[in-house]
Amino acid sequence: MRIGELSRRTGVATRLLRYYEEQGLLASTRSPNGYRDYAERDVETVLRIRGLLASGMTTRLIRMLLDMEGVRGTVSAAQCNRTVAGEVAEELARVEERLRCLSQSRATMREWLTSAGYAELLAEPA
């Protein structure tokens, strides 16, 4: 598929898809006329990259993780060295802290809505 179709199917702008390629997160082949061609599996890869970036992970770490993944999408302990594992652990600590802050903010907003008399506007927690 061409870059425009990949963009439509993933909701990621073509400019960002080119950036993902520049960062080594995504690869395409080139047709004789120079157009980028992507495989069907790249839809899932782009959605995964997008999610990892949204979680705050750096493109460098995402590239390392994607490089280590096998065809089944799993990482074995033999493929993961201590340096990469340490970086993943540091990133996990940052994610856990963001989750803690978000949970605290959610509790504060729920309490405020309840005390203001608008408890019916509260969404059910997931």
Domain boundaries, given as residue ranges, for the chain: 1-80, 82-125
Q: What is the mean pLDDT of residues 60-67?
A: 84
Q: What is the pLDDT of residue 81?
A: 79
d(CA 58, CA 94): 12
Share in percent of the chain as helix, strand, coil (round to 5)? 65, 5, 30
Q: What is the CATH number of domain 1-80?
A: 1.10.1660.10
pLDDT tens digits for range 7-53: 999 999 999 999 999 999 999 999 999 899 999 999 999 999 999 89
Give the model confidence (pLDDT) of 99-125 as tens digits. 999 999 999 999 999 999 999 999 875
Tokens of 116: 């203001």
Highest mean pLDDT among 14-23, 69-78, 82-91: 14-23
pTM: predicted TM-score of the whole model, two decimal places: 0.68
104 vs 108: CA distance, rounded Å: 6
